[in-house]
């Protein structure tokens, strides 16, 4: 038998607004504009996703008669396969997305990208205007608004990398560290030179995910490796903004969704349309702007996740701070600066 020993309040009772993101990740996300999550997908999950991508790619090639050397992209990918659909609410990543975007979100875009080896590629400047994949940030036509010289934080993308990108020039995405904090006009300024020190070639192993601000300037290295590069992207924006790949998802797909899935697919949980505040026809409001109860089921989901996280933290704390009956004194002498986890 053991008794819990009182040793200051456990972390679960301290204010902790985040479901999953750590302080370091949060800082990196704000300053650099991206974070990498290694092994986000297990090897088995990666294999399944590669199969899905290959099936779609083959189908596309047969339908369009394209060659095995052509790059391929499919948008609104979530509607093309259950496995692609399932990733919209992937349990390891959605908490991070909610941590940075909040709960009033939807999918803005989802895409599969395939880039075979580029046999005849002529080496040029990375991301050059007019090249095969110029530097850009994601934005609708006419651009996102620019406030105080920069694009406000309006959306996040999650990249899932399915093939090995650890080699230089294997088709990996490159990002300019911190570029979300620069004027988007500079990308198109021929006199502006990106400091090579700021360029990060995302050389990652299969299964790695990148959560990034899409205002970050990005381009691709050519794929000069011997294997085809395959990856997936899921973009999330706010429900009060419009989606990018769809206006309204297919009714059959929406009918099969859980409330959270429906929200992520940009729909309210019941018929869309305006509501009248206090029943007053003079005060119509879109439910994307003023959600009705139940329109944002991610809120209740996030509360449940937070409760589970606190319970987990509490159990961990109890494990570390429990002494056998009869033991005297403080259970753990935690050296200043070290975390209790170091002592496990
Ligand atoms: O990695 C890719 O193939 C494309 C990345 C990109 O440009 C994007 O997601 O906007």
Give the global pTM: 0.89
φ and ψ at residue 300, rounded to 5 degrees? -65, -35
CB distance 230 to ligand 1 below 6 Å: no
173 CA → ligand 1 middle, Å: 7
Residue 281, in any domain of the structure: no
Statement: residue 337 has pLDDT above 60: no
| 258-268 pLDDT per residue, tens | 999 999 999 98
Residue 276, in any domain of the structure: no
Q: Kindly state the DSSP code that residue 136 receives in the 8-state scheme.
A: B
CB distance 231 to ligand 1 below 6 Å: yes
Residue 272, in any domain of the structure: no
CATH number reported for the structural domain that contains residue 117 in this entry: 2.60.120.620
20 CA → ligand 1 middle, Å: 25
Q: Which domain holds residue 238?
A: 20-264
- For 269, half-sphere exposure in the C-beta direction (CA atoms, 13 angstrom radius) is 11
Residue 225, in any domain of the structure: yes
| Nearest-CA residue for atom 5 of ligand 1 | 173
182 CA → ligand 1 middle, Å: 20
| 68-107 pLDDT per residue, tens | 889 999 999 999 999 999 999 999 999 999 999 999 999 9
Statement: residue 331 has pLDDT above 60: no
| 25-53 pLDDT per residue, tens | 999 999 999 999 999 999 999 999 999 99
| Nearest-CA residue for atom 1 of ligand 1 | 173
Statement: residue 130 has pLDDT above 50: yes
Give pLDDT, residue 11: 53
How many folded domains does the chain comprise? 1
Residue 10, in any domain of the structure: no
| 231-257 pLDDT per residue, tens | 999 999 999 999 999 999 999 999 999
* Banded pLDDT at 135 (limits 50, 70, 90): very high
> Cα(229)–Cα(227) distance, rounded to whole angstroms?
6
Residue 62, in any domain of the structure: yes
């Amino acid at each position: 038998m053991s008794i819990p020993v009182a040793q200051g309040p456990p972390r679960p009772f301290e204010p902790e607004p985040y479901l999953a993101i750590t302080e370091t990740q949060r800082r990196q996300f704000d300053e650099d504009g991206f974070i990498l999550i290694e092994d986000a997908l297990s090897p088995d999950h990666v294999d399944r996703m590669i199969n899905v991508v290959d099936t779609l790619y083959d189908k596309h090639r047969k339908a369009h008669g394209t060659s095995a050397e052509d790059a391929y992209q499919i948008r609104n990918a979530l509607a093309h396969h259950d496995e692609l659909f399932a990733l919209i609410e992937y349990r390891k990543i959605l908490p991070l997305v909610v941590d940075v975007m909040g709960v009033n979100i939807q999918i803005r875009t989802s895409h599969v990208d395939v880039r075979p080896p580029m046999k005849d590629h002529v080496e040029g400047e990375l991301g050059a205007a007019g090249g095969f994949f110029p530097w850009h940030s994601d934005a609708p036509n006419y651009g996102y608004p620019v406030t105080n010289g920069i694009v406000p934080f309006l959306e996040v993308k999650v990249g899932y990398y399915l093939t090995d990108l650890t080699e230089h020039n294997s088709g990996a995405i490159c990002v300019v560290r911190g570029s979300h904090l620069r004027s988007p006009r500079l990308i198109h300024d021929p006199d502006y030179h990106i400091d090579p020190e700021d360029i990060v070639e995302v050389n990652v192993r299969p299964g790695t995910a990148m959560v990034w601000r899409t205002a970050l300037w990005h381009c691709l290295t050519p794929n000069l490796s011997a294997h085809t590069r395959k990856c997936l992207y899921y973009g999330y924006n706010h429900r009060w903004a419009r989606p990018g790949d769809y206006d309204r998802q297919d009714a059959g797909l929406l009918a099969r969704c859980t409330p959270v899935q429906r929200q992520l697919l940009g729909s309210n949980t019941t018929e869309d349309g305006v509501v009248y505040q206090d029943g007053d026809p003079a005060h119509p409001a879109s439910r994307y702007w003023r959600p009705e109860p139940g329109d944002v089921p991610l809120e209740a989901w996030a509360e449940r996740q937070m409760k589970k996280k606190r319970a987990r933290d509490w159990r961990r704390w109890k494990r570390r701070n429990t002494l056998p009956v009869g033991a005297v004194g403080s259970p753990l002498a935690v050296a200043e600066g070290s975390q209790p986890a170091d002592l496990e």
